Chain A
Amino acid sequence: MATVLKPRDYKSDAHINWCPGCGDFGIVNAIQMALAELQLPPHKVAVFSGIGCSGKTSHYIHAYGYHTLHGRVLPVATGAKLSNKDLTVLAVGGDGDGYGIGSGYFVNAGRRNVDITYVVFNNSVYGLTKGQGSPTLRKGLKTKSMPEAAIQDGVNPLALAVSSGYTFVARAFALDPRTLASLIAAGVRHRGSSFIDVLQTCPTYNDLYTAEWYNHTQSGGPRLYRLSETGYDGKVKDPSDADEVVAKKVQAITKSYEWGEKIPVGVYYEVDLPTYEDALAERNPRYGREALVDTDFSDRDLSPLMDALR
């Protein structure tokens, strides 16, 4: 390729209407940086988003953009990816979108291992409807916009992702776009369903998980630390070794409960397994050779089907 693509080549001209200081800016910048790192032609990329503040992300990226329905982003992205396996498909949405109204799709997308990357903007509040508690807000917590503290507990998205079957599970921080960008790029490179939970601030409604909270514990140091710096290795070396797979899953789930004074970021779990598309290609070799959208079905012969009914 003659020209080198820069992050700005993935910026659309749509007006951004997020609140000043919103964590979403860091995530959209990181996506653009990741796409530049991967040097993907914008027209080969499709970004699917759910509903909520995060849902607007697809409008802000110069690529095919689909701002879909609340909670349904994964099925839509799945349908598109299976129809054109040559596309790079990103799905984005909030934690309410993905772990609340979309929780069934979150779990079942993991079972399939379609080659897509799902980035969740996790800020523990429903921002666009003015600050109700979301599925990751823990029991007993109360943000400033909530009349009462939460009396239902929060979900653990990383543990849920690992047990659902995602083959790349990571956590990152919206206010560290450089690290986030490299994780998104790694997720896109990974063949299979990649999931990245992004801890994100909502300066308007979440007065608990603020930038200050993430950056300074009571003892003074940052709350977030990188798994890679502790010798943690989430990658399965031999995917055919069932014991290793289970051990790495348990390790990731255990790690995902580390929340409080210290919160780990980075890749929790990774395994190379055949994708859903691989299984389709095994069933029908033509699927492996060409994208479904490019397949000409005008030569279909239905006479054997009719003969079977005679």
Chain B
Amino acid sequence: MHTGGERSLGHDDLTWLIGGPQGGGINAAAEGFAKAATRAGYRVIANIEYHSNIMGEHSYYRVRVGRSGHRNVSERVHVLVALDDETLVGERHAAFPGFKGHVQEVVPGGAVVFDANDGPGEHGADVLLCPVPYLELLEEALKGSSREGQASRLKVMTNTVAVGASLALLDFDLARYQDALRAEFGGRRADLGELNAKAAALGYEFVRERFADGFAFRLPRVSPPKGKPPMLIRGAYAAAMGKLKAGIGFQSYYPISPATDENVYLEAHQRDQGLVVVQTEDEVSAINMAVGAAHAGVRASTSTSGPGLSLMVEGLGFAAMTEAAGPVLVLWSRGGPSTGLPTRHEQADLRFALQPGHGEFPHLLVAPGDVHEIVRDSYEAFNWADRYQMPVMVLVDKALGTTFITTEDLGLDRLPPVDRGPRFREGGNGDADYLRYDFSDGIVTPRSVPGQAGGIYWSTTDEHDPRGHITEDAENRIRMQDKRMGKLELALREIPSDRFLTLHGPKSADVTIVSWGSTKGAILDALDILAREDKVKANFLQIRIMRPFPVSAVTAILRAAKKTVLVECNYDGQLGLLIREQTGIAMDQSIVKYDGRPFSEEELMDGLRHVIAEGPGRLMVSHRLG
């Protein structure tokens, strides 16, 4: 199935995969390599898969490297680096084995770097086997240092031996990786940086001398970009950047995977960025603190995952009912339901995020599809929260949050200005006249904040009159509900139409793929492949703002579409349900995936080729990756 032509792709499309036990240094090894490759002038996308476990379970990092850059990962592994036996052959004792080891993913002409004590397992033909004595080489690296003889205790450092070994196959500039290692270990641990650099060199030399000759897949020196090297960023950091740029002052959170990455990143920057991050006792407390902060006039946010949102919904209703200017809630979706798959991927919270709570209340829901869109949407969410005085939810997911990608620029200089929305000014109308929930003049009332003279108001989660006192009067109820819900219409009118959706690719096409969120990168890559290899003219409707829903724009595009294919990482095809509810239009076909992993390039292509060739109406795809 893989032809010799594959080899000629060489350094423009190379997948390097490292696997091992959780706690075995997978992250450091892969991120070190990914960073070194970025600095060397390559573009990288790096995706981690891991268990809800601290130590021992199988985790792996897939790093795809090239000159032009991919937006999704591939199953075709060119170099496999195994830190343990399970990476090679899968779990030998699994009761219901699905994953049978990564060796089977290695392409002809590819290589496997593994511990000389392990057997490589069943592998395809034409795979280069590189057994490396990890521990012996580590012992040698420690020789003569203050840590001599401690190889068993420092066994985690065998990861650098293994990475170094793999770099010899790739003809990759070892010094760049060593620089990344030294940068990782600063200060009192600087000697460890040096020892790691030495360990990497020993692995490198071992393989260079024995195996590297004639290996076809290479990442030779290229001229790196001038000026500052690009960034290697993941969605979790992108969200934090957007929030910081927007002027966030307060973030509250309860620890939960996969939202913790963003929360901890912000927590680490409290001193230099001046924000307050509070770790609360649960998600109920987190959202309510954020609502209190928003009412106090600070740009406030909280970030959580599905189980956390289940607890937070009461607070969202509170924010909307009292017309707080926020908070911004970033939902890092994971595999559900209930505790579900805590560290795995799924896009199954869309329907929930559309109606997060009882009763009818306004909120804005936006679902960015890549790191740039995350920066933009996390930033602008605060403008919308202030302008419309309602909570704003940014729906992202585990794959977006954890996947690293090379980028030069986050677009921070091209963001719209900060908009704090209508504010009450002292003396504007005098204490006695100020009505916080006035419905006589527009639907968004200028807001005062506590501490402001002349701006005293009351607010309540009960239905209330313009002054904010409780009333159950029928006429008042109608006008107040019209005021609140009318903000959705206002947002639909005011927010530029290109913020709601994007039609990628040709305006007219034979196939229109419809999706949202993190599938964006996979679909954009697929459009290129369909055009290049299948001669299929396809385009992609990406819907980004889900509430208020851009009914007329979506209707116009879908009416003109010849064949629609829905792509989502959930069981129901939830965006398809939303489109049908809002426009009356049903998708022709759908590709769904709910195995807890994002689409690989091959899974999506298999799915698209199948349904385009008149496959079933609904197709579930999964290659049962590890």
Q: Is A242 an interface residue (CB 8 A)?
A: no
- Which of B252, B274, B290, B291 touches A297 (beta carbons < 8 Å)? B274
Note all chain A residues with C-beta closer than 8 A to B497: none
Q: Which of B453, B458, B470 has most A Cβ within 10 Å?
A: B458
Q: Is B43 an interface residue (CB 8 A)?
A: no
Q: Is B428 an interface residue (CB 8 A)?
A: no
Q: Is B247 an interface residue (CB 8 A)?
A: yes
Q: Which of A190-198, A204-212, A280-288 contacts B (4 or more CB under 8 A)?
A: A280-288
Q: Is B298 an interface residue (CB 8 A)?
A: yes
Q: Is B119 an interface residue (CB 8 A)?
A: no
Do residues B271 and A283 form an inter-chain contact, with CB atoms below 8 A?
Answer: yes
Do residues B288 and A69 form an inter-chain contact, with CB atoms below 8 A?
Answer: yes
Do residues A67 and B274 form an inter-chain contact, with CB atoms below 8 A?
Answer: no
Do residues A105 and B470 form an inter-chain contact, with CB atoms below 8 A?
Answer: no
Q: Is A302 an interface residue (CB 8 A)?
A: yes
Note all chain A residues with C-beta closer than 8 A to B241: 302, 305-306
* C-alpha gap A62/B450 in the complex (Å): 12
> Mind listing 24 A-B residue pairs with CB under 8 Å?
A12-B458, A14-B469, A41-B453, A58-B460, A65-B459, A66-B295, A67-B460, A72-B314, A75-B280, A79-B252, A79-B293, A79-B300, A82-B293, A83-B276, A83-B296, A84-B296, A84-B450, A280-B276, A283-B271, A284-B271, A292-B249, A297-B247, A305-B244, A310-B228
How does the 8 Å CB contact mask read for A69-102 relative to B, with 1 for contact and 0 for none?
1001001111111111011000000000000000
How does the 8 Å CB contact mask read for A272-310 relative to B, with 1 for contact and 0 for none?
000000001001101100011101011010101111011
Do residues B292 and A65 form an inter-chain contact, with CB atoms below 8 A?
Answer: no
Do residues B250 and A292 form an inter-chain contact, with CB atoms below 8 A?
Answer: yes
* C-alpha gap A48/B458 in the complex (Å): 10
B79–chain A nearest beta-carbon distance, Å:
24
Q: Contacts A14-B469, A68-B288 hold; do A292 and B298 have CB atoms under 8 A apart?
A: yes
Note all chain A residues with C-beta closer than 8 A to B467: 14
Q: Is A145 an interface residue (CB 8 A)?
A: no
* C-alpha gap A76/B289 in the complex (Å): 5
Do residues B249 and A284 form an inter-chain contact, with CB atoms below 8 A?
Answer: no
Note all chain B residues with C-beta closer than 8 A to A202: none
A111–chain B nearest beta-carbon distance, Å:
8
Do residues A108 and B285 form an inter-chain contact, with CB atoms below 8 A?
Answer: yes
Interface residues of B in 384-422 (CB under 8 A from A): 410, 412, 418
Interface size range on A against B? 35 or more
Interface residues of B in 87-106 (CB under 8 A from A): none
How does the 8 Å CB contact mask read for A138-179 relative to B, with 1 for contact and 0 for none?
000000000000000000000000000000000000000000
Note all chain B residues with C-beta closer than 8 A to A76: 288-289, 291-292, 295
A60–chain B nearest beta-carbon distance, Å:
9
Do residues B315 and A72 form an inter-chain contact, with CB atoms below 8 A?
Answer: yes
Note all chain B residues with C-beta closer than 8 A to A75: 280, 284-286, 288-289, 292
Q: Is B496 an interface residue (CB 8 A)?
A: no
Interface residues of B in 302-318 (CB under 8 A from A): 314-315, 318
Do residues A69 and B451 form an inter-chain contact, with CB atoms below 8 A?
Answer: no
How does the 8 Å CB contact mask read for B192-236 relative to A, with 1 for contact and 0 for none?
000000000000000000000000000000000000111111000
Q: Which of B286, B290, B296 has most A Cβ within 10 Å?
A: B296
Q: Contacts A42-B456, A84-B297, A298-B247 hold; do A104 and B290 have CB atoms under 8 A apart?
A: no
Q: Is A46 an interface residue (CB 8 A)?
A: yes
Interface residues of A in 41-68 (CB under 8 A from B): 41-44, 46, 48, 51, 56, 58-59, 62-68
Do residues B230 and A310 form an inter-chain contact, with CB atoms below 8 A?
Answer: yes
Q: Which residue of B lies closest to A58 (CB)?
A: B458
- Which of B38, B232, B270 touches A284 (beta carbons < 8 Å)? B270
* C-alpha gap A287/B273 in the complex (Å): 11
Q: Which residue of A lies closest to B286 (CB)?
A: A75
- Which of B244, B249, B412, B459 touches A83 (beta carbons < 8 Å)? B249
Size of B's binding interface in residues, CB under 8 A: 70
Do residues A83 and B273 form an inter-chain contact, with CB atoms below 8 A?
Answer: no
Q: Is B571 an interface residue (CB 8 A)?
A: no
- Which of A59, A77, A300, A310 touches B292 (beta carbons < 8 Å)? A77
Do residues B449 and A293 form an inter-chain contact, with CB atoms below 8 A?
Answer: yes
Note all chain A residues with C-beta closer than 8 A to B228: 307, 310
A75–chain B nearest beta-carbon distance, Å:
4
- Which of B269, B298, B457 touches A293 (beta carbons < 8 Å)? B298
Note all chain A residues with C-beta closer than 8 A to B300: 79, 83
Do residues B469 and A295 form an inter-chain contact, with CB atoms below 8 A?
Answer: no
Do residues B460 and A69 form an inter-chain contact, with CB atoms below 8 A?
Answer: no
A283–chain B nearest beta-carbon distance, Å:
6
Note all chain B residues with C-beta closer than 8 A to A309: 231-233, 237
Q: Contacts A59-B469, A304-B272, A309-B232 hold; do A83 and B293 have CB atoms under 8 A apart?
A: yes
9 tightest A-B CB contacts, nearest first? A79-B292, A79-B289, A67-B460, A83-B296, A75-B288, A297-B247, A64-B450, A76-B292, A65-B458
Note all chain B residues with C-beta closer than 8 A to A12: 458
Q: Is B452 an interface residue (CB 8 A)?
A: yes
* C-alpha gap A12/B459 in the complex (Å): 13
* C-alpha gap A104/B284 in the complex (Å): 10
Q: Which residue of B lies closest to A63 (CB)?
A: B456
* C-alpha gap A309/B450 in the complex (Å): 39
Q: Which residue of A lies closest to B431 (CB)?
A: A43
Interface residues of B in 244-277 (CB under 8 A from A): 244-245, 247-250, 252, 269-276
- Which of A66, A67, A72, A79 touches B250 (beta carbons < 8 Å)? A79
Do residues B285 and A72 form an inter-chain contact, with CB atoms below 8 A?
Answer: yes
* C-alpha gap A306/B285 in the complex (Å): 31
- A65-B456, A83-B292, A104-B281 known; 4 new pairs, CB 8 Å cut-off, are A46-B450, A69-B288, A69-B315, A306-B231
Note all chain B residues with C-beta closer than 8 A to A80: 292-293, 295-296, 450
Q: Which residue of B lies closest to A114 (CB)?
A: B278
Q: Which residue of A lies closest to B183 (CB)?
A: A308
* C-alpha gap A286/B453 in the complex (Å): 24
Note all chain A residues with C-beta closer than 8 A to B451: 43-44, 64, 84, 86-87, 291, 293
Do residues A284 and B274 form an inter-chain contact, with CB atoms below 8 A?
Answer: yes
Note all chain B residues with C-beta closer than 8 A to A15: 469
Note all chain B residues with C-beta closer than 8 A to A42: 456
* C-alpha gap A253/B306 in the complex (Å): 40
* C-alpha gap A280/B451 in the complex (Å): 21
Do residues B249 and A295 form an inter-chain contact, with CB atoms below 8 A?
Answer: yes
A132–chain B nearest beta-carbon distance, Å:
20
Q: Is B462 an interface residue (CB 8 A)?
A: yes
Do residues B289 and A43 form an inter-chain contact, with CB atoms below 8 A?
Answer: no
Q: Which of B39, B237, B252, B278 has most A Cβ within 10 Å?
A: B278
- Which of B272, B276, B461 touches A67 (beta carbons < 8 Å)? B461
Do residues B244 and A300 form an inter-chain contact, with CB atoms below 8 A?
Answer: yes
Q: Is B41 an interface residue (CB 8 A)?
A: no
